[in-house]
């Protein structure tokens, strides 16, 4: 760590997920970030932490969240425990989707629902007659500007920035912030970001350089943001009484641990085709990758169709049907399936300690022969 060309893997996510986090789009912002936000915009931001995805779904089910606004995405399909997520969305008073394409989530809506079509990032975004560029951060921490190249699908489409600015102006007014002024020129937004985020000095000038600029991870330069000012290594105790071990104690060697994964022709929940050349599967997605020894031990045959039931101690039945068994080089005791087809099997309460991420790579399940 700390040597040029060596050290920790710099990848921090995919797409622009980590770019959103960099600019403060998270449910638990730091006090320092909120202080800078308050100073830059002369208002008092809420200090109480918000909900992550899993807690948002739970809050919807409990009636604590009544309005859902989604900027893109396919919330109903991408999240765990699909039937309960759908129930949560339907309990909302209002669901709003800002989207470039129709998807399954638009059919799972609250009492009132809106779909707001928006420009895609590949479309030319004109504001006041000037094409606008948005900044993105890639998975190796490069920040660069992105301009659309294609003619918009409709002259009536608004950009995401313009939609959000108009929503803010209509609900909050312009006493504190002139929302529409920011939407007229995205460079103004970057000037504001520059005031709030360390490391973004001369933001507009730095993205004007071909390739943009690099956000250097502090550890690369041996800068440790710890109480001791040094790198700190933590020994994490192994938990013995895990849900999987509890399930195995109850079901013995019939229990398998399922992970969900994507196919080759897939991006998030968008499925471009039914072929997966990575794994030699063609023309279908409802498959279970299984170790041949497990298949033989459990009395199944290659190509046989099975149903899958997850094991979780909350009394909720989670079950999906009609998946074809595919012998595969996978560790014994484990199976693999495609996402989002098996998201209904992931319990909402099954999350990683500390991070709250659904345990979609570690779901205890049982296989049974499918009905003919």
- Which residue matches tokens 């495609």? 338
The pairs formed by 328-333 with CB atoms below 8 angstroms and a separation of 24 or more are 328/279, 328/289, 328/290, 328/291, 329/291, 330/289, 330/290, 330/291, 331/291, 332/291, 332/293, 332/294, 333/253, 333/255, 333/256, 333/257, 333/291, 333/294
User: Can you give the pTM of this predicted structure?
Assistant: 0.91
Q: Output the pLDDT for position 371.
A: 84
**What is the secondary structure of 246-270 as a DSSP string?**
HHHHHHGGG-EEEEEE--TTEETTE
pLDDT over 80 (residue 254): yes
Q: Output the pLDDT for position 15.
A: 59
Report the length, in residues, of the chain: 372
* Contact predicate 150/133, CB 8 Å: no
| CA–CA dist 183, 94 (Å, integer) | 25
Q: Output the pLDDT for position 290.
A: 98
> Average per-residue pLDDT in the chain?
92
| CA–CA dist 211, 268 (Å, integer) | 26
pLDDT over 70 (residue 224): yes
| CA–CA dist 189, 166 (Å, integer) | 15
pLDDT over 80 (residue 145): yes
279's tokens: 């794994």
348 confidence band (pLDDT: 50, 70, 90): very high
Rounded to an integer, the average pLDDT of 52-81 is 96
Q: How do residues 307-335 score in pLDDT, each as one tens digit? A: 999 999 998 999 999 999 999 999 999 99
Rounded to an integer, the average pLDDT of 220-237 is 87
| Contact residues for 4 (Cβ-Cβ < 8 A; gap 6+) | none
CATH 2.40.40.20 residue window(s) in the chain: 243-369
| CA–CA dist 247, 263 (Å, integer) | 28
Q: Report percent pLDDT > 70 for the chain.
A: 96
User: Which residues are registered as beta bridge partners of 365?
Assistant: 256, 310
183's tokens: 């939407």
| CA–CA dist 198, 69 (Å, integer) | 29
Q: Report percent pLDDT > 90 for the chain.
A: 79
Rounded to an integer, the average pLDDT of 219-233 is 86
Give the phi and the psi of residue 102 in degrees, each rounded to 5.
-75, 145
Q: Output the pLDDT for position 8.
A: 66
Q: Which residue has the higher pLDDT, 55 or 215?
A: 55
| CA–CA dist 30, 320 (Å, integer) | 41
- The CATH code belonging to domain 243-369 is 2.40.40.20
User: Which residues are registered as beta bridge partners of 363?
Assistant: 258
Q: How do residues 195-220 score in pLDDT, each as one tens digit? A: 999 889 999 999 999 999 988 778 77
Rounded to an integer, the average pLDDT of 173-186 is 93
**What is the secondary structure of 132-149 as a DSSP string?**
-EEEEE-TTSEEEEEE--
Sheet holding 67-71, edge to edge: 67-71, 94-99, 112-117
Buried b / exposed e over 132-149, threshold 16 CB at 10 Å, is bbbbbbbeebebbbeebe
12 confidence band (pLDDT: 50, 70, 90): low
């Amino acid at each position: 760590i700390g040597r040029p060309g060596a050290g920790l893997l710099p990848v921090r996510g995919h797409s622009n997920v980590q770019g959103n986090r960099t600019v403060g789009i998270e449910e638990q912002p730091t006090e320092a970030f909120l202080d800078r936000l308050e100073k830059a915009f002369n208002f008092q931001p809420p200090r109480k932490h918000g909900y992550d995805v899993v807690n948002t779904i739970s809050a919807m089910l409990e009636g604590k969240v009544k309005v859902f606004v989604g900027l893109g995405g396919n919330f109903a399909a991408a999240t765990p425990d699909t039937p309960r997520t759908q129930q949560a969305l339907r309990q909302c008073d209002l669901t709003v989707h800002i989207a470039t394409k129709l998807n399954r989530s638009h059919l799972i809506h609250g009492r009132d629902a809106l779909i707001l079509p928006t420009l895609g990032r590949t479309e030319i975004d004109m504001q006041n007659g000037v094409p606008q560029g948005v900044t993105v951060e890639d998975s190796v921490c490069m920040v660069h500007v992105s301009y659309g190249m294609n003619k918009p699908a409709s002259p009536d489409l608004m950009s995401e920035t313009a939609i959000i600015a108009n929503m803010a102006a209509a609900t909050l007014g312009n006493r504190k912030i002139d929302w529409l002024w920011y939407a007229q020129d995205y460079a103004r937004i970057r000037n504001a970001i520059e005031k709030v985020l360390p490391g973004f000095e001369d933001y507009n000038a730095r993205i004007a350089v071909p390739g943009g600029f690099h956000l250097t991870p502090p550890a690369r330069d041996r800068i440790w943001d710890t109480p001791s000012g040094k790198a700190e290594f933590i020994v994490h105790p192994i938990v013995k009484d895990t849900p999987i071990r509890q399930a195995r104690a109850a079901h013995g060697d019939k229990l398998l641990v399922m992970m969900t994964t994507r196919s080759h022709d897939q991006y998030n929940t968008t499925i471009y085709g039914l072929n997966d050349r990575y794994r030699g599967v063609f023309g279908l997605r409802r498959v279970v990758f299984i170790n041949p020894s497990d298949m033989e031990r459990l009395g199944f045959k290659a190509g046989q169709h099975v149903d899958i039931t997850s094991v979780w101690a909350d009394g909720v039945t989670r079950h999906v049907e009609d998946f074809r068994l595919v012998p595969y080089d996978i560790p014994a005791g484990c199976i693999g399936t495609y996402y989002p087809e098996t998201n209904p099997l992931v319990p909402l309460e099954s999350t990683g300690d500390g991070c709250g991420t659904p345990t979609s790579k570690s779901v205890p399940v049982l296989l049974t022969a499918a009905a003919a």
